[in-house]
Amino acid sequence: MIKELPTIVSIYPLPFDIQFRHEANISIFHQGNFFAYEESKLVEDKEYAASVFPDKSFFCGLLQLELIPSDVDIWIFPSPSSKFDFQSLFSLFIYYKVLPVDVDSLETFKNWSDKHIVFIPHHNMHSGLGCLLNESNNFLSVTQDGGGDFGDPADLVVHLYESGNHKRLYQTNNYFNAANFHAGIAEILSFRENGKVSGLSAYGDEKAEILTILNSQLLRSSKLFHYKKERKSRTQPVPKRLNLDSFDKYKLLNPSPGHLELRDQLKGFMPQDIACTSEKFISSTYIEFLKKLLSEKVFESLNSSLTSSSLPIFFSGGFFNNVLLNREIVNNFSSSNKCLFGMAPGDCGLSLGAIGHYLYTSTRVRTEEFLILSPMLGPSFSSSSIKDLLDSVHLKYLSFDSFEKTCLKAANLISEGSIIGFFQGRAEYGPRSLGGRSILADPRRLSSKSRLNQLAKRRDWFMPFAPAIIDSYINLYVENPDFANPFMQIATYMTAQAKKDIPAAVHCDGTSRVQMVTEKTSLEFYLLLNKFYELTNVPCLLNTSFNRHGISTISTPRQAIEHLLFSNIDYLVIDNFIVGRSENLTDSYILHSNATLSESEQLKRLRPIQ
């Protein structure tokens, strides 16, 4: 059956459409195999990945699946805005040598495109990821983001997937939604990413005065999560902040602080208390709204052959990148409906979701071959090419004749306190590093956390690290296994045993963003975890993304080597080679000091919002 399936390429965003998007991504489906990747991981400056055709990811995928552009049967794009110019798409297909020679005019291209190009709305791309991750043939999906795109400007959609058919049961086009409210709080706290509000919230307290202010923002008369947003004036760009070494277009155009009315009301409160109160406010109000929506408008409308409680619910869209919200969703809904979260809820997951939606609705039959068991869908590199690179830059390294021996040495290094970069097999898809391109440390040592934050990663001290735990030991460390997720998408409460065994992996509020590792989700990482367990009796490693400034995740062996030499990780474990930093650098190259600050010292440095 698989041989009859079309070869599909899916791209987000639609090239040449009139809107600024970020997170350009591409997915390919060929004979039951998937390739999926984000362009921002492959370009030297991730800002340049915005609004362009994801060329590098596209060719990585063609290489991985041994294809050329004209082998592709179906091209999927997001539904275009009303201003989209079809001529530009024709030019793109000519440029990439996709078209047969007789398709040489706009008219013949239009005929060809009727059979070969499919447009799928933004929210269906979000929900379609559930078709590839969910074993159940029938399911509901709730998709929530800041407001889709110009081709599908909804912010919230409830979808029903039933027996090969898809139906939108409910949708709103509300710009003043919960996702944008969360982004507004991040802006007030001078963060660019909403996840930082969630990370900082663990250090604060819920304050009644802040809650009153936040409550006053919500329009209770509305049936939607609808807040007031008032800007005192438009925040102006600050060109003098231009830094060519770390160019960040977004920060230049949207300098903090934003001129928000709410910011004025929150002056004088500590940022961690604003973060804590906001997270609880957003979760509780959104869940209250969602319960009403599902019981009054969705479950009621289901066909009698479907019982609402039998349907899993797949949550997708950028709003569900919030691990605290996801925990509350599982808390509130999992007793009646299985709650599912994907590896890429944000727009970086749209191209793969579109393929899922297309396969589900066009083939009308679910097959096991469509299910994705592993998030390792990106590029891989041959052992010989990695060895050639190491030799060409004259690095000293250890070489092993089996992966088991490599893992044993790597596990030993970690258990002795070293921080390692782990670069193995195919890269993971989505915003989290899941053991394909990860930085790993010993979770038993509290010092691992401050070393990782301040030396190796130079990221905010309050951001938690994730414990990657072997699946069969989940109960040892996680209070409720319902919260164990293979993609690090839910903050879970940890057991007393976890606080004792793996203190560096437990956030100050007693939670962790756990990654449950199985043999099927990532074999290489699973083997390393087992070697570490054999040595230490601890079935867990501290896992964080393998990135550096300007590159969201290390993607190529060369980037990984540069990271080793110019940051403070101790070893790079790449394929069956282990490269040490100290053996390859003289002291004069060591860029960072070893001094770190404790969390309590960092907390004292926070100042009230001004």
Of 438, 431, 426, 396, residue with least CA distance to 544? 438
Q: Choose between 328 and 347: whose C-beta lies nearer to Fe ion.
A: 347
Q: How far is the CB of 543 from Fe ion (least distance, A)?
A: 26
Q: Choose between 154 and 560: whose C-beta lies nearer to Fe ion.
A: 154
Q: How far is the CB of 121 from Fe ion (least distance, A)?
A: 11
**Does 39 participate in binding Fe ion (rule CB under 5 A)?**
no
Q: Choose between 50 and 606: whose C-beta lies nearer to Fe ion.
A: 50
Q: How far is the CB of 11 from Fe ion (least distance, A)?
A: 15
Q: How far is the CB of 348 from Fe ion (least distance, A)?
A: 10
Write down the residue that tokens 């990663």 correspond to. 457
The stretch near Fe ion (CB under 5 A) out of 142-150, 298-306, 538-546, 582-590 is: 142-150
CB 139 within 8 A of CB 161: yes
Q: Choose between 350 and 469: whose C-beta lies nearer to Fe ion.
A: 350
Q: How far is the CB of 178 from Fe ion (least distance, A)?
A: 14
Q: Choose between 347 and 575: whose C-beta lies nearer to Fe ion.
A: 347
Q: Choose between 38 and 524: whose C-beta lies nearer to Fe ion.
A: 38
- Helix, strand, or coil (residue 499): helix
Q: Choose between 179 and 414: whose C-beta lies nearer to Fe ion.
A: 179
CB 421 within 8 A of CB 456: no
The continuous run of DSSP H or E covering 440 comes out as: strand 437-441
Tokens of 508: 């100050």
Binding mask 331-370 vs Fe ion (x if CB under 5 A, - otherwise)? ----------------x-----------------------
Q: How far is the CB of 311 from Fe ion (least distance, A)?
A: 23
Q: Choose between 145 and 328: whose C-beta lies nearer to Fe ion.
A: 145
Task: State how far the alpha carbon of 450 is from the alpha carbons of 410, 595, 598, in Å.
Answer: 21, 10, 7
Residues in a beta bridge with 511? 493
The stretch near Fe ion (CB under 5 A) out of 74-82, 145-153, 278-286, 531-539 is: 145-153
Burial (CB count <10 Å: 0-12, 13-18, 19+), residue 47: middle
Going along 225-355, which residue ranges are E strands? 313-316, 339-341
Q: Choose between 126 and 531: whose C-beta lies nearer to Fe ion.
A: 126
Residues in a beta bridge with 541? 468
Beta carbons within 10 angstroms of residue 234's beta carbon: 8
Footprint on residues 240-269 left by Fe ion (CB under 5 A): none
Rounded distance between C-alpha atoms, residue 560 and residue 45, angstroms: 15
- In our burial notation (b when 16+ CB lie closer than 10 A, e otherwise), range 545-568 reads bbbbebbbbbbbbebbbebbbebb
Q: How far is the CB of 319 from Fe ion (least distance, A)?
A: 9
Q: Is the peptide bond before 13 cis (omega within 30 degrees of 0)?
A: yes
DSSP 512: E
Tokens of 562: 């540069």
Tokens of 293: 């929506």
Q: How far is the CB of 17 from Fe ion (least distance, A)?
A: 15
Residues in a beta bridge with 11? 26
Q: Using CB under 5 A, count the residues that bind Fe ion.
A: 2
Q: Choose between 6 and 15: whose C-beta lies nearer to Fe ion.
A: 15
Q: How far is the CB of 145 from Fe ion (least distance, A)?
A: 3
Single residue of 17, 23, 39, 145 touching Fe ion by CB under 5 A: 145
When CB distances to Fe ion are compared, the closest residue is 145
The stretch near Fe ion (CB under 5 A) out of 138-146, 230-238, 291-299, 498-506 is: 138-146
Per this entry, what is the length of the chain? 610
* Contacts with 95 (C-beta within 8 Å, 6 or more apart), sequence order: none
Q: How far is the CB of 302 from Fe ion (least distance, A)?
A: 25
Query: Which residues of the shown chain bind Fe ion in the complex (CB under 5 A)?
Result: 145, 347
